[in-house]
Structures are given as C-alpha cells and as structure tokens.
Structure 1
Amino acid sequence: MLDKIEMRIPVDASLVEVRDDGKYCIFGFDLLDLSIRFDAMEVYKDEDGEKHHQVLRHPYSRLPTSYTKMAFKFVHEGAVYPYVQIKASLAKLLQGHNVFGSDDIEQGAYEMIGFLHMAYPVLTKMLDWTRAWVSHIDVTYSAKLSDQTTAKKVLDFLANVSNGQTRLSNKRFDSSVYWGGQTSKLVNHKYYLKHDKFLSQFEELKQLAKKNDKSAQRVVDVMSDSRLINWTVGLLRFESRLKKRWLERNGVPTNLYELIAFQKANPNLLQTLWTKATHGIFDAMRGQTVKLINDESVLEAISNSPVVVTNSGKVSQTCIRNIYSTYCLVCEHGLEKLAEMLPKPTFYRHLSELCDCGFSKAFLQNLHDNKAKNVIPFMKLVEIDFSQQLPEWYEPPVSQFKSVT
C-alpha cells in the first residue's frame, strides 16, 4: 500500500529572482493577496505611527479534505528555490483510514493536488507543475497474525534484529520498532502493531468529533466499522520510507509525472521497491528458525547439519560438541555479550557455524531473552503475502479529481 507521499512543486521561474545577497525571492505581487496565513518575523511602527511588517514566513498548516487534513507549506524566499510542499496519507484522504489501501501513485497525487487547488487556486497557477517532484514515499505491507498477543511477541522479537548496515534505531515505543537513523537520506523503517495505533487514533478523533469537528466526525463514522476494527487485530505493519536519493539510486524517477508513468510501466513497482528496501532486515531471519523445545532437538539440528561432516565424509563429534557449546553460551549470555567475550574472527566463525546449522541470526539474537519461552519460528509465522493485503469486502476508492494540474 502507498501510505504517504511528500511532494514539492517549484514556483514558476518567471516569478522568481535572485537578490543581491544570493537568496531567492518572488516578485510581481503581494503575498498577502494569496489568502495564505503568514507569520511576520519583524513588526515595527514608522515615524507616523503606521504598523509595518517584514520577513514573512509561512508555518506548516493543514488543508481541509474529505477526511483527514493535508500538510502544506509555502517556502517563498531564502537560500533554496521557492516551492510548495504538500504531504498526506493518501489512503486517509481517499477513504478515511489507512488500514489498507491502494498502490496507485497517480490517484493519490490527483487527490492531493486537487485539494491544494481548491484551497488556493491562485497559488496553484503560480507553480511549475512540470517540475513537481517526490521527496519521499511511505510504502506499507502487513502480516496477519492470529491475535494481538502473538503480534506483540513478534514485535518484541524484531526489536533485537539488525543486519549489516540496517541497524536498529534507539527510537522505540511499546507498539513500534524503528530501523535506521532519523536523519538518513535514504530509507527509514518502522514496524508496528496496527490495532494499537488504530485504537489510539480512534479515541483522539472521537474526542475531536465531540467538539463538532466535522472532519473528525466523518473519519469516526468510517473507523466505527466493526469489520475494519476486526481486520486490525493481529496486524503487524512493515512500513518503509523511501527517500528521493534512495529512489534515484535504484533507477526510479522522482519527477511526479515521470514516476507516475514509471509505475504504469511497472505495475508491481511498490512491492518490488519495498522488498528491496527491507531485504537487510529479512535476511537476518532467513533460513530454518528452530522452535526450541529441549536440548535434544538442538543437538539433533546440529548433528544433521552438513557443517559437522568432515572432508572424509564422517560426522565429527568434536565439531558437534563445540557448536553446541557455543549455542549454550549464546543462550546463557546473549549474542552481544558473546561478541565481547571472544576475538572477532572466532566469534564470527562460531556465528557462521550456528547459522549453517539452521539457526537464523534473528533467532540467535533473541535466544537469551527467550530461553525460558517457546521461540517463535519467525519466517513461518510472519508471511508478507502481497495477494492478501485487502479484505474481500474492500472497495477501491474513487478520486473526485480527474487529472494533475
């Protein structure tokens, strides 16, 4: 599902000039005629007592839509070329919720631009739409687990997983796990329990609806559907923010029109990009994840592994004992502690042997915490099935806007 788009639309070049200090500005009209709220950074009185303002700034504001509001900002002067920025959850704009939704970039873009035009028709005519570009997209797919308890266990399991350059973030909340630095110019990942987030947002919106917020009332009507609420139970969301630099490195155009055309030529584009962006995390969970019951099952897994077979074709009991001893050390102290205890080459050799025996890296990272519990066989339990992202009763939303400006 395409959850969010952030796009920027430059002001038409005929309205922009560069000042003597090298900064950009817009000329030829009064900004206040646009009916946009600006903050004045400086206000003063002249000799006649008349009030004057200068250094105008447009703060982030929110534009009304059919459901949730859309973020909007107008940068009219400064060190960067003047532009308008808009960002929104497309599913929420189109249908009032983002539990599930469409992958269609074109439809979402039409909806966003349409609402901008409705709010500020004069401003939209000042923009160079041919140069509109996407600064990031949020792509989300889900795994449906049996219940919230299981989903919570899986989320806790994920909280210990990292692989290569895809590092676990220090940012963590009860129902969310993050990967990647917040300042990364490439990608960010967030995995969370949709049911918890849905109920939290539902309560907030109900409070707004009681205060006669018409937009909130419309969204509450949508979110009150019992089928929708039930669909969120056990839903584990895997959300990736793909930024401009990452998209371009992977051969994806970021000009809005070119991106729309590119998706039409590649209908499974978002699934492909999401899979590529998340491979580092899922690679840490590949292979057979053993559901540990007792020591005998662990020894059996090690004994049946090709890694303990010598060049002469015999099973090395010494090798079995050594690998099992390493397993016990991981179980007792944890993988991170073991890495501190051993020289790096020795640690990575032991880690490689354990992985060759069918114990995934994710399993080993969680082994110390789960030694007194049944271990979750992650890759069997969590399946991202692209064909099962929508319920049978899903009806695709229809945009009220037909084309991009």
Structure 2
Amino acid sequence: MSAESRPAIDGRIAELDDGQRRLLFDRRVGDAGEVADATRALLALVRSEGDDALFDFARRFDGVELDALEVPREKWGEALESLDSEVIDALTRAARNIETFHRAQLPSDVEVEVEPGVTLGRVFVPLEAVGVYAPGGRAAYPSSVLMGVVPARAAGVKEIVVCSPPGPDGMPSPVVLAAAAIGGATRLFAVGGAGAIGALAFGTGSIPRCAAVVGPGNRWVLEAKQQVAGEVIIDSPAGPSEVLVVAEEGCAQPAWLAAELIAQAEHDPDAAVAFVTTSPSLLEAVRRELRIGVAATPRREVVAEALSTRGALLLAADHDEMMTFAEAYAGEHVVLCTRDPRADRAGMRTPGTVFLGGASSVAFGDYMTGANHVLPTAGTARSFSGLSALDFLRSYTWQELTAEGAAGMAGPVATLAEAEGLPGHATAARLRGSKAGEETS
C-alpha cells in the first residue's frame, strides 16, 4: 500500500498494543488544551464586544471585510435562482424526508391520574429561538442546514437562525443560502467558527440569543459548543466525522467498503475511519481498493492525512470479537455489512447511527434518507444521541389535586416532611387534608 493510503493501524485486533487502542478508542483531538484556551478567549470577545468581535473575526480568520453580518432575504432568492434545478430538487427532496421522519418522532403530551383525585401531566413546547451552525471552509454543507433547520421547524420553533462562514465574496455558499430558504430558516448570518457559536449563545446587536445551538463543525466549533453548554442547549459533541465499517466475506463489494472509508475521510484530516472484518481475503481486497480509491479522489491530501492519522484496517478472530470491537468503538456511523445485519444491530447500544447492508451507504444518510447526520463523535455515542426534533422541545409538568385527593395524601406527605425536618411542608399538607381545607378549596 502506498504511503498516501496507508492507515495508522493495520493488523489483528488481538495484537493491538496499548498505544493503538488509545488511538482507536480515545478519538479526541490531541491539542484540546490549546484549542480550549483559544476558544475561551474568542468567546469572551464575543460576549464583551458583540458584533465588533465578529467583524474582526471575519477579517482575521476568513480574510473578508464584511459590510453586514446578516445575509438579506433577496440573496437567498438569488441563490435559489442561480442553482441548477437538479440541486434544488435534491435539497427539496431531502427536506421533505427529514421533515417526515422528524415529525414522526414528536412526543405526545401526557395526562395520568396516579391515584384517585391526583392528576399529573407533561406538556411539550417548542423553544422560542434556536441557532443552527453550518460548517464552511473546506466544503459547503447545505445538508447540515437542512439537518438543523427542518427538525426545528417540525418541532414548531418560531425563530431559526443559521450561521455559516463567509466565502471570499463575504457570503456563505449559494447552496447554503438555498438550503436555508428551502428548509425554512428565518434569519441567516455570514459568521463562522467559535465566534458564531458564541453569538448564537450570548446574542449580539445583530444576532438574536438562542435557547439551543446545534450543528457539526471542526474542533473549535465543538469546543465552543461545549463551553457554552451551561448557558444553552447543545445537541451533542459533534466533531470531525468518523465511520466504522463492519463486514463479512461476500456481504458487500470491496470497492463499496473502501468507498465508505474514503467518503468520511474526505470531510476532515481529523476524521476517523476504521474497517473490521473476520476475513483475511476481504481485508486484503479492501486494502487494495483503498489504495486505488485514494489515488483517484480529488481530495487525496485530506483523505490521506485522515487515514495516516486515525485510519485502521483490522482483522477479527471471529464474529464475536468483531462485534465486541464495534460496540467498544462507539462510532458516529457504523456500517454493518454482515450476514444478518438486523440481528447484529439489535445487539448494539453505542452507535450514533447504523446502516444495514451493502446498499446502505452513509452517503444516503448524510443527505437524503431523512435521519439526522448531526451525530455524536469521539466515542460520545455511549452517552449522547443524534440530533432530532426532541432537541428543539422542552417540557414542563402540571399537577392537580382535588379536595379528596389532597385529603388522601396529606397524612403521608406530612409524615415524610417531618422526617426530613421540614415542619412547614407538613403544615401545608395537613391544612389541605383537614375539613377546613376542603371547604376553602
């Protein structure tokens, strides 16, 4: 295998050393301390200087002098008109599928009588304003706009604010603008990186303060989201992309399997891509196809760096070792090209999302199936879920007691209150349990 396509790890799972296991299972970026400090400073500037800091960031990081941060609505329309009709049709189809799937996930309000005279309820309400971050830089991501905006709209959010980095002309990519229009965003700003996350979380003179900030991004965006998480809701630690392809002999063409690795590696040099199989011959075939695919891709340098930094080709002794590894890896995307992928999926608890069978490429989920591509990375799928309409809702409970319900509960509640040394609670309960309490109610 050429140096350009050689993965960081290539061998048997059973023979991995401690350093290789750390590389596979601890996928956080290595300069987290430096990034954290720099991000903290950027967020402090946004909090104290607002729009002025954002204009300065555009000059420093994006190399553009902006006249305004907000992109006018007419520019959205111009972007739509400039795009090929096939692109518009694809975005529209994707938005429709995303809305269909995410509306189906919306919860129903709850009302239940837990005992006679005591009725409780839980009500779900949409957040007032949410911020959606769409990455820029190496590539435009209109798909990320749809993945954030459409579920928020499905949840009933009134103000949906998109931030995406400006290009050389001071505007986000036309396909990002078009996606904002198709998805149903209400405002859009040419602001990127940690500055955008801070602006959405704190609010500035131009950008409204949001209750939630969602969307994927690079290590600075991820760090910024984690730092503002105490003030706003964030979706999950969605950092550089990653995929684990799990395959058995005869279940998918080797070229397809190699293409899955290349597709995610082309996102970012920090991307993590891994392949595991029980078949030595399949491993060799994928190794060969990977070499061919890397040589052919226009994003060769990005793919090669990702492979050499966090790429892995692994051989498992048997099916159990392969699936145990997949569970421990807790990948953002897991592709199951096994003899019974549905059964294998049923035994998994840690993936961000799972694709079943050789025809189910991650690329379909990235763009058009309707499931969300904003997913937890770096092993955090052990705890976090992918973005959904639920992230744009909050809930509150209500409680109603009749006189009879209060009378039946007063004694036990007073007993517990006194056991905790809270006599005022006991008195409040007993008053409502007394005859006088019933009359005044």
Q: TM-score range by the shorter chain?
A: under 0.3
TM-score (norm 1): 0.19
Q: Which has the higher helix share?
A: 2
TM-score (norm 2): 0.18
